[in-house]
Amino acid sequence: MSSVSDAGHTRRSVHLERRLHVEPRRAALVRLLGVATALLIAGVFLQVTGRSAFALAGEVIRSTFGQRRGLEETAVIATPILLDAIAVAIALRMRIWNIGAEGQFYIGAWAAAGIGIHFNLPTPLLLLMMAGAGVIGGALWILVPAIARAHWNVNEIITTLLLNFVAVTWVEWFSIDIWRDKQAAVIQATPLVNARLPGLFGSTTLHAGFLLPLALAVVAWFVFRNTRWGFEVDMIGGNPRAAEFAGINVRRRIVTVMLISGAIAGLSGMVHLAGAAGRLQGTISNSYGFSGFIVAALAGGSFVGLVAGGLFIALLLHSGILLQTAGLSIYIVLAIYGLVLVGIAVAGGRSSLAGPPGETLP
Amino acid sequence: MKLNIFLAALRTAIDAGTVVVLAGMGELLTERVGVLNLGQEGLIGIGAVAAVIVSDGASSPWVALLAGMLAAGILGLLFATSVVIVRTNQVLTGLAVVLVGVGLSNQLGNNYQGSPVEHTFAPLRIPILADIPQVGPALFDHTLIVYISYLVLPTVVAILLFRTRHGMNLRAVGENPAAADAAGVNVAGMRLLYTTIGAALSGAGGAFLMLVFTPVWSVNVARGRGWVALAVVIFAAWRPSLLVFGALLFGAMISLGFIAQEQNWGIPSFVLAMLPYLVTLALIIIPSALARFGFKVRSSVAPGALAIPYFREER
């Protein structure tokens, strides 16, 4: 995808040539190169700090691909990451940066837990209510940043991010204090929710929620490829003023898209709660929201690339959890994310992510 | 001498706000040359961890402070090179700085978890003024870094920006790089310089956390203060004097949390922990909302070329 606002000029810098049109295949290749470079740097870092990068890589591959359990665990991690990535990607189509997916995930999980521990209804009905609560929770959590961005031109990056800190504290409050499971003295979490997502292929690890992001990615791909609504969102992303002239109510569309983004991130919290975690606690998200953001950036607005990128990042996160046993902290994965992001920015950032954030209406 | 609640709160607020003044002033300079560095959270983390590590063997906290500034400055220079020379997307690259900074500092700080920092800054009592009953200890019994952050730094930055030719060039680079370029200003050089200086200031903020405010390493040491600093720059409309005010307001919210717990006001600690972020959110939303509803609010317009890479032939 080439950016609309870039069309028409040939621009050159002294040493680096600016590419205005990047073929999809080339963009994908360049992204892969960026990722490979990031992993290489991480490997060198590990080697320098006295650990064998090859031995660790071998360990990761063995324990992930070598057994069914490893693959299933990766898929379970991939589920919320993919949902958050879709949430971020939809907003990114409009060049809106929802960095608050992490917070919306927390609030979605919180709202779903509220329903799931206080009601005792038939499983399908309860699951549906929990999903509804998650969707509404996530959407409400982004409501203020959405209105502020659309109507008052307040930078959404900072507002959505600040709310992450509030969301985490909010969930801690409920899981440590208000809804705490009094029977289980050891864990600081709420009781188990009364409805859980069924297993997939008879698995006890992998749950049906894994199908949801795959289906949603197809829907999103279809909407942005074939519908007027999707086209209009892309148009606003390209040039909001032109879109306004074309008769699109840009402000209202910004609010709608951000609410959808928040709703999907909230849903991912519900799915992770009902599918994997079972109870709400302060550490329910393993940086899934941020991982989703990286995936969306990696995919650069493509929903097909998003699924591939999501599985890859889930693998990375799963390895990070494994690496903890090798005396490394999970934080090294964060640093690797950062390097991946630099790789994307250097290599492929020109395509649909090019340009400054939030071009605004007068 | 026991301070009354208000003055004790003011004392803590000043200390708590110092990080935001330092990181915010760094970001203000960076944004004034047209570069958006979202990496504050990571830069504070790197500054803090470098200070902790170096302070372990060093004899003076000044060495640790310099180490913090240097480490964050290096990361800032890498960021600046990427966005100014390679012209990568500033949002993506800035977020990469957050992730690399937070991840790396947590990894490196792992071994220092829970052990107190050995050499910290001692308060510098200002003679006579500090002897004023009540007010004296609240205002004039801080470390040297606090005085520098609240008095020297804003003054120097304000004079630099608004009273010197160099400052005019600096602002021109942020407002209209093509015009500045035509007038013979070195746009790339200016941007590299002030982005690096800005990052070093954020590093000083991180080092301050470790050497004065809470001298013991803990995971995710910045706790969102980097994001608060970014918000306060917007609230301050890119002006050094207002930035100090915004930082103090944030400090006051942190301080309120301490006081409320100490005095047993019965407000849940979780609510108090959320408050600083909610107030910061309000700080950036309310002025813009008021302006939209027709109230006369000081104009808060970002530098014209903020976050836009400069290509020379683009006129």
CB atoms within 10 A of CB A300: 25
Cβ–Cβ under 8 Å, residues A75 and A86: no
Contacts of A339 in chain B (CB under 8 A): 96, 100
Given an 8 Å threshold on Cβ–Cβ distance, is B284 in contact with A158? yes
Asked if A332 reaches chain B (Cβ–Cβ under 8 Å), the answer is yes
User: The domain containing residue B270 runs over which residues?
Assistant: 5-114+143-292
Q: Which residue of B has its CA nearest to A338?
A: B96
Given an 8 Å threshold on Cβ–Cβ distance, is B89 in contact with A9? no
Cβ–Cβ under 8 Å, residues B25 and B153: yes
Q: Could you tell me where the DSSP H helices lie in chain B? A: 5-32, 40-57, 61-80, 90-109, 135-139, 144-147, 153-163, 165-175, 177-182, 187-208, 225-235, 240-262, 269-292
> What angle do helix axes A101-118 and A288-299 make, rounded to 10 degrees?
130
Q: What is the distance in angstroms between the Cα of B122 and the nearest Cα belonging to chain A?
A: 32
Rounded-to-integer distance, Cα B284 and Cα B134, Å: 33
Rounded-to-integer distance, Cα A134 and Cα A24, Å: 35
Mean pLDDT across A186-196: 84
Query: What values do phi and psi take at B125, rounded to 5?
Result: -70, 130
Mean pLDDT across A42-47: 80
User: Encoding tokens for residue B32?
Assistant: 């004034």
Rounded-to-integer distance, Cα A339 and Cα A347, Å: 12
pLDDT tens sequence across A201-244: 877 889 999 999 999 999 999 999 999 999 999 999 888 889 98
Instruction: Give DSSP secondary structure letters for A253-307.
Output: HHHHHHHHHHHHHHHHHHHHIIIII-S-BTT--SSHHHHHHHHHHHHTT-HHHHH
Q: What is the distance in angstroms between the Cα of A260 and the nearest Cα belonging to chain B?
A: 21
Q: Is residue B87 in some structural domain?
A: yes
Half-sphere exposure of B88 (CA within 13 A, CB side): 24
Q: Is residue B245 in some structural domain?
A: yes
Cβ–Cβ under 8 Å, residues A132 and A271: no
pLDDT tens sequence across A105-140: 999 999 999 999 999 999 999 999 999 999 999 999
Rounded-to-integer distance, Cα A96 and Cα A157, Å: 8
Q: Is residue B121 in some structural domain?
A: no
Contacts of A329 in chain B (CB under 8 A): 106-107, 110
Instruction: Give DSSP secondary structure letters for B99-118.
Output: HHHHHHHHHHHGGGTTPBPS
Give the number of domains in chain B: 1
What's the whole-model pTM score?
Answer: 0.88
Digit-by-digit pLDDT tens for chain B (315 residues) are: 456 788 888 889 999 999 999 999 999 999 999 999 999 999 999 999 999 999 888 778 999 999 999 999 999 999 999 999 988 889 889 989 999 999 999 989 988 888 888 888 888 888 878 788 777 777 888 899 999 999 999 999 999 999 999 999 999 999 999 999 999 999 999 999 999 999 999 999 999 999 999 889 988 899 899 999 999 999 998 999 999 999 999 999 999 988 888 888 888 889 999 999 999 999 889 888 888 787 766 656 788 888 888 887 654
Rounded-to-integer distance, Cα A56 and Cα B101, Å: 23
Given an 8 Å threshold on Cβ–Cβ distance, is A342 in contact with B311? no
CA B86 to chain centre: 26
Contacts of B184 (CB under 8 A, 6+ apart): none
Q: Which of B139, B163, B166, B154 is nearest to B240 (CA)?
A: B154
Kindly provide the residue ranges of all beta strands, DSSP E only, lying in chain A, ordered along the sequence. none
Amino acid type, B60: S
Q: Which of B218, B209, B211, B247 is nearest to B43 (CA)?
A: B209
Q: Give bridge partners of residue B125 from the DSSP assignment.
A: B141
User: Pick from B100, B231, B307: which is nearest to A356 by CB?
Assistant: B307
Q: What is the distance in angstroms between the Cα of B289 and the nearest Cα belonging to chain A?
A: 6
Q: What is the distance in angstroms between the Cα of B33 and the nearest Cα belonging to chain A?
A: 15
Rounded-to-integer distance, Cα B294 and Cα A150, Å: 17
Q: Which of A158, A167, A360, A359 is nearest to B232 (CA)?
A: A158
The Cα-based distances of B26 to B52, B62, B85, B212 in angstroms read: 21, 19, 20, 19
Amino acid type, B256: L
For the A23-347 domain, the top CATH level (class) is mainly alpha
CB atoms within 10 A of CB A198: 13
Contacts of A157 in chain B (CB under 8 A): 38, 91
Rounded-to-integer distance, Cα B145 and Cα B143, Å: 5
Instruction: Give DSSP secondary structure letters for B245-269.
Output: HHHHHHHHHHHHHHHHHHTT----H
CB atoms within 10 A of CB A41: 16
Question: ipTM for the complex?
Answer: 0.88
Contacts of B228 in chain A (CB under 8 A): 162
Q: What is the distance in angstroms between the Cα of B207 and the nearest Cα belonging to chain A?
A: 20
User: Pick from B92, B234, B307: which is nearest to A341 by CB?
Assistant: B92
User: Encoding tokens for residue B249?
Assistant: 């307001």
Q: Which of A5, A55, A27, A88 is nearest to A262 (CA)?
A: A88
Rounded-to-integer distance, Cα A107 and Cα A156, Å: 18
Given an 8 Å threshold on Cβ–Cβ distance, is B288 in contact with A154? yes
The residue ranges of every structural domain in chain A are 23-347
Q: What is the distance in angstroms between the Cα of A344 and the nearest Cα belonging to chain B?
A: 8
Given an 8 Å threshold on Cβ–Cβ distance, is A356 in contact with B291? no
Q: Which A residues 228-247 touch B at CB under 8 Å?
A: none
Q: Which A residues 119-158 touch B at CB under 8 Å?
A: 144, 148, 151-155, 157-158
Cβ–Cβ under 8 Å, residues B315 and B178: yes
Residue that is written with structure tokens 């958050």 in the block: A84
Residue that is written with structure tokens 């640093």 in the block: A335
For CA atoms B203, B206, B212, B218, the dihedral sign is negative
Q: What is the CATH number of the domain that holds B10?
A: 1.10.3470
